[in-house]
């Protein structure tokens, strides 16, 4: 009968180390592929606007409403405001297209004139500004009267 020979302890240790290293490399490649496929942050998620001051007045001489707003870009990317909406009683009473660019950290004065068939004097309206990426900022103002 022939004696069976076992694998030496040195060869067994080398095989275990090789298997462990190969498993670690495969795990690293899988994890790094998963992490690199994560979506990057979109610009719309970085746009941040704030309305510092807003006023809405009815000018009796011109028979028009005037919206004056100071809008500040508090985000890290430039924004382009493309529209403004005036909402009263859950209804859009006026809207206008705009083209206002605001750099990060800057504040812009935005003046908008509109007409409405409704009497909005002494009533609270919502003024909503919308960027080209769909980010909205809004404020509530009571409409005053100006001669």
Residue range 63-71: mean pLDDT, rounded: 93
Pairwise pLDDT comparison (130 vs 44), residue with the higher score: 130
CATH number of the domain that 131 lies in?
2.60.40.10
Q: Tell me, what's the pLDDT at 10? A: 85
Tokens 């069976």 — which residue?
4
Does residue 24 fall inside a structural domain?
no
Does residue 59 fall inside a structural domain?
yes
Number of domains present in the structure of the chain: 1
Q: Tell me, what's the pLDDT at 4? A: 66
pLDDT at 50 over 80: yes
Give one word for 134, left, alpha or beta, with left for phi > 0 and alpha for psi -120 to 50.
Answer: left
pLDDT at 73 over 90: yes
pLDDT one-digit tens code per residue, 102-139? 999 999 999 999 988 889 999 999 999 999 988 999 99
Does residue 26 fall inside a structural domain?
no
Tokens 């994560």 — which residue?
38
- How high is the mean pLDDT of the chain? 88
pLDDT at 67 over 90: yes
Residue range 8-17: mean pLDDT, rounded: 87
Does residue 37 fall inside a structural domain?
no
Q: Find out whether 73 and 44 touch, Cβ atoms under 8 Å.
A: no
pLDDT at 37 over 80: no
Phi and psi, residue 133, nearest 5° = -95, 5
Does residue 114 fall inside a structural domain?
yes
> What residues make up the domain containing 63?
46-146
pLDDT at 79 over 60: yes
CA–CA separation, 80 vs 128, rounded Å?
A: 14
Does residue 54 fall inside a structural domain?
yes
DSSP state letter for 147? -
Does residue 5 fall inside a structural domain?
no
Does residue 10 fall inside a structural domain?
no
Q: Tell me, what's the pLDDT at 35? A: 65
């Amino acid at each position: 009968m022939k004696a069976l020979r076992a694998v030496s302890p040195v060869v067994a240790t080398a095989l275990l180390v090789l298997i462990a290293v190969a498993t670690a490399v495969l795990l690293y490649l899988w994890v790094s592929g998963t992490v690199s496929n994560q979506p990057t942050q979109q610009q719309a998620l970085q746009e941040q606007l704030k309305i510092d001051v807003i006023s809405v007045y009815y000018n009796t001489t011109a028979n028009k409403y005037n919206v004056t707003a100071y809008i500040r870009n508090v985000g890290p990317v430039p924004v382009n405001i493309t529209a403004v909406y005036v909402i009263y009683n859950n209804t859009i009473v006026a809207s206008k297209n705009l083209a206002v660019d605001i750099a990060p950290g800057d504040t812009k004065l935005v003046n908008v004139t509109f007409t409405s068939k409704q009497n909005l004097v002494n009533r609270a309206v919502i003024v909503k500004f919308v960027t080209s990426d769909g980010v909205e900022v809004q404020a509530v103002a009571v409409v005053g009267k100006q001669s």
